[in-house]
Amino acid sequence: MTNPGGAVPAPIPLPQHLTPLDGPAAPLGRRLRIAVPSESLRPLGETVADLLARLHAAETTVTAGPDGPDGDLRLALGTPSGPAAIHPPQGTDPRTAAFHPPAADIPTTPTGPDAAAAPAAADLSGAAGSTAPSLAPADSTPAGGPTPFGGREGYELVVDGDGRATVTAGDAEGLFRGAVTFAQLLQVDADGFAVPRVRIADGPAYAWRGLSLDVVRRFFTVDQVKKVVDLLALYKFNVLHLHLSDSQAWRLEIGAWPRLTDPRTWPGRATNADDGVRPYYTADDYREIVAYAAARFLTVVPELDMPGHVLAAVRAYPELQGPDEPVHKLLAYLHPRGDATFGFVEDVLGAVAALTPGPFVHVGGDEAFGMPDELYREFVARALEIGRATGKRVVAWQEAARSGALTPADVVQEWVGAGDEFDADAARERIPAEYHALVDAMAAAFAESARDVPAAVAAGTPVLASASSVMYLDRRYAEDSRDAAQTARRTEVGHESYPPRTCRELFDWTPGTLTEIPDGADLAGVEAAIWCETVEGFDDLAFLLLPKLPGIAEKAWTPARTEWDGYRARLASHPAWWEALGWHDHYRSTAVFGG
């Protein structure tokens, strides 16, 4: 599938350097040949072929070996030869867990007028004599600045006068990112496929670029999670954070604790997949997801949320609650002084760590409403130790800073966004009196939120930016849809406690200027989140994620601030790809697609 009228979509996220070259679009024929330099990289070639088939219905062949035939798309390991340097990524590498400090000269404003540059990129028609400007001139990098093509994901893509597209990178991950850019540039004409002549030098601004997917409130099958992976790969994300447990259900089997995944023990407020589908992941299911993601250079970060958000676990194993009665029937927490508690924590974290090849495990730590502060601190400190003892690095939500036990080896995930502060009075007016004890517990917990991230920064812990104000994608749309039925539906799908915002408002920020993160923080990266309390099926997921998700990708990848009009022009043609990848119900936002 390609775009109506043969228009060429410019890449999202926008590359660091993009220079159109003279000459018409290079013809590639009707069958695309992908050449990789060795048999060991044939799986990479096959993954790229799969992407091209899905996006463009392209027939492909993959050849391997240094002396094999030239391809229409050549993937070459080596040092790019172009004159431009790219900024290396800053933050925590999700594949190696290494932290990379920021370069001193990463730009925060466009290198040229974005209103002019982005339309030039959006119309790379390959007309002879094109003089469209580079989006980031090669000489814009000061001497002594970023290393050339720094980072494992850096690549160069050149479509030359002979009609060959070559991606050069020092690592297979960079080859894949460059191939994704090629896929976004590909167009069709009467003779088959063509690609504009262009030179791109590119790499990410942030090392960690993720999406947290709630598979608890709504269960998604393995095949549906793979569709999420495909979408993330299209926009150069590199982390899939799976939220696997919560109060409503437990979605990963744990051999030593079999009742966790018995739906008969769950509170009954989770939404499962279609009838007849097992509502949790077996170990083999989880391995399949991890392998599929890894082939597309996404690292899976599993989360087992504790000590709060555990009602499903406590219903299955009441001994985990300990002697204290929770303040409300919908609340529970793991009691640090219960006989079974830390044996449970060791078992479940050990099991998920053993299944996970990536270097991280997420232990939750958020919203332990009604749990006494002393017990919370005691539990989190011990859970962090247990997580580290699995051989993994530990990620936790921002409240974990209250334990005083975070270290520079951990990652803390900031989430309480400016403008989303909890309004207890409004909540009491909205809900029955029987839930007011729950409201009081929530108010007490959120009263401490402003101190969480500064405490983590003081401990030297890298901060993963996930501000609910701009990165929680279950927020309702403020603007209408071009589809009247969707406009009516937007009051039903999305969390009612967040003020609605337009897609444009959700694009108007940069990671380095979030007010929720204090100066001096080591920024680990950027991660959006989608919570599924209001999601009844996969179409609802599409409704909330799209068109918002690509904007998060651009903020996380592109160092220079890009402007709304240029971004919107580039995004306009992308729904055809969403359809091709199985995402059929994106929101037809008038802010993005016009009235």
CA–CA gap between residue 85 and residue 17 (Å, rounded) = 9
Quick check: 68 pLDDT over 80? no
Q: Which two tokens stand for residue 257?
A: 């604790």
Nearest to 41 by CA among 171, 152, 201: 171
Q: How far is CA 499 from the centre of its chain?
A: 22
Burial class (CB in 10 A: 0-12, 13-18, 19+), 162: exposed
Of 334, 338, 12, residue with least CA distance to 184 = 12
Mean pLDDT taken over the chain: 89
Task: Give the CATH superfamily of 4-202.
Answer: Chitobiase/beta-hexosaminidase domain 2-like (3.30.379.10)
Instruction: For residues 493-502, give the mean pLDDT.
Output: 93
179 vs 295: CA distance, rounded Å: 13
Per-residue pLDDT reduced to its tens digit, 309-358: 999 999 999 999 988 888 888 899 999 999 999 999 999 999 999 999 99
Question: Beta-carbon neighbour count of residue 525 at 10 Å?
Answer: 27
Q: What is the CA radius of gyration of the chain?
A: 24
Q: How far apart are CA 290 and CA 168, in angstroms?
A: 26
DSSP bridge partners of 100? 91
**pLDDT at residue 278, as a whole number:** 92
How far is Cα 402 from Cα 399, in angstroms, rounded to an integer? 6
The average pLDDT across 176-190 equals 93
Question: Whole-prediction pTM value?
Answer: 0.92
Which pLDDT does position 122 carry in this prediction? Answer: 40
Cα 358-359-364 angle, rounded to 5 deg: 100
Cβ atoms of residues 366 and 398 within 8 Å: yes
Q: Which CATH class is domain 208-593?
A: alpha beta
How many percent of the chain have pLDDT more than 70? 88
pLDDT of residue 149: 62
| Sequence ranges of the chain with CATH classification 3.30.379.10 | 4-202
Question: Is the separation of the CB atoms in 20 and 198 below 8 Å?
Answer: yes
Q: Say which residue the tokens 């008038």 belong to.
A: 590
Q: Nearest to residue 456, comparing CAs of 379, 395, 400, 384?
A: 400
- The residue ranking higher by pLDDT, 388 or 432, is 388
Q: What span, in angstroms and rounded, lies between the C-alpha atoms of 467 and 364?
A: 16
Q: How confident is the model at residue 528 (pLDDT cuts 50, 70, 90)?
A: very high
| Residue 160 pLDDT | 86
Which is nearest to 553 in space by CA: 516, 525, 515?
A: 525
Which tops the pLDDT comparison, 269 or 591? 591
Q: If you count them, how many residues does the chain have?
A: 595
Look up residue 222 and give its two tokens.
């393995």
- Known catalytic residues are 367
- What's the pLDDT at 104? 61
Is it the case that residue 56 has pLDDT exceeding 80? yes
How far are the Cα atoms of 82, 137, 152, 187 from residue 550, in angstroms, in the given order? 28, 24, 22, 20
Asked which of 55-64, 154-163, 285-294, 420-429 is least confident by mean pLDDT, the reply is 420-429
Listed in order, the ranges of the chain carrying CATH 3.20.20.80 are 208-593
The pLDDT tens digits for 436-474 are: 888 888 888 888 999 999 999 999 999 999 999 999 999
* Residue 236 φ/ψ region, left for φ over 0, alpha for ψ in the -120 to 50 degree band, beta for the rest: left
275: pLDDT strictly greater than 80? no
